Chains A and B, each alone.
Chain A
């Protein structure tokens, strides 16, 4: 079946560097994509979203890029901080729907 997946299961970066987390999706009907951050013992926390009619969206220190041609999504975190250490999930959905389809997650470790 169609699925959402991540290219890298773990990512280690130095504090202050930029981080890039990648995600591939295969359901061409998805028109809404979300990045979540999940810290140990907590539920997923919304970071940023993007609709399929956009290819880039910026937030505070984060940017999401969407490449519909190759069905690829990325999350860029600028000036990564220790508090950014967590597991990051991308999720796909349909704006007309409600269920989120999550990938497996990438563990981001920020070292001093």
Chain B
């Protein structure tokens, strides 16, 4: 597609449940990023993929968070045993290069843990 697509756009889940958030990057973009944006804050880096591999997952807050990109295109961010503090907008971006000017962000998935 023309842009980065994220689904679902909104997700409400109960505390303790497992969720998966999907990102479909721009075709041909080898770099893919996940960020998390809390209310009133700027996005915070979570993980960076170059191709199929996670080149840097240092931003993942703990081992409940995991992301995959098995074929080097679509990526899934997985959160186990969700907590209310996980509530945020999860943004995905893709780029041709590692430089920021190649970033295109999706509209995000708003996750609410109740």
Count how many pairs of residues, one from A and one from B, have CB atoms less than 8 Å apart in the complex: 61
Q: Which chain B residues lie closer than 8 Å to A91 at the CB level?
A: 42, 100
A95's nearest neighbour on chain B, judged by CB, is B99
**Which A residues, 53 to 112, have Cβ-Cβ distances below 8 Å to chain B?**
89, 91, 93, 95-105
Q: Which of A42, A45, A97, A105 contacts B98 (CB 8 A)?
A: A97
Q: How many residues of B contact A (CB 8 A)?
A: 26
Known: A43-B91, A98-B48, A100-B45. Contact between A93 and B108, CB under 8 A?
Answer: no
**Chain A contact residues, majority secondary structure:** loop
Query: What range describes how many residues of A lie at the interface?
Result: 20 to 34
Interface pair B42/A89, CB less than 8 Å apart: yes
Bound-state CA distance A41–B101 (Å) is 21
Bound-state CA distance A97–B33 (Å) is 12
A6's nearest neighbour on chain B, judged by CB, is B42
Q: Which chain B residues lie closer than 8 Å to A100 at the CB level?
A: 35, 43, 45, 100, 103
B44 CB–A CB distance under 8 Å: yes
Interface pair A98/B91, CB less than 8 Å apart: no
Bound-state CA distance A45–B48 (Å) is 19
Bound-state CA distance A100–B100 (Å) is 7
Q: Which chain B residues lie closer than 8 Å to A103 at the CB level?
A: 42
Interface pair A98/B93, CB less than 8 Å apart: no
Bound-state CA distance A96–B56 (Å) is 14
Chain B residues close to A by CB (< 8 Å): 4, 31, 33, 35, 40-45, 48, 55-56, 59, 91, 93, 98-101, 103-108
- Give me 7 other A-B pairs in contact (C-beta within 8 A), A34-B101, A93-B99, A103-B42 excluded: A42-B108, A43-B108, A45-B105, A46-B104, A89-B42, A99-B33, A99-B48
Can you report 20 A-B residue pairs in the complex whose CB atoms are below 8 A from each other? Answer: A4-B42, A32-B100, A34-B101, A41-B107, A43-B106, A43-B108, A44-B43, A44-B105, A45-B105, A46-B104, A89-B42, A91-B42, A91-B100, A93-B99, A96-B98, A98-B31, A99-B33, A102-B42, A102-B43, A104-B41
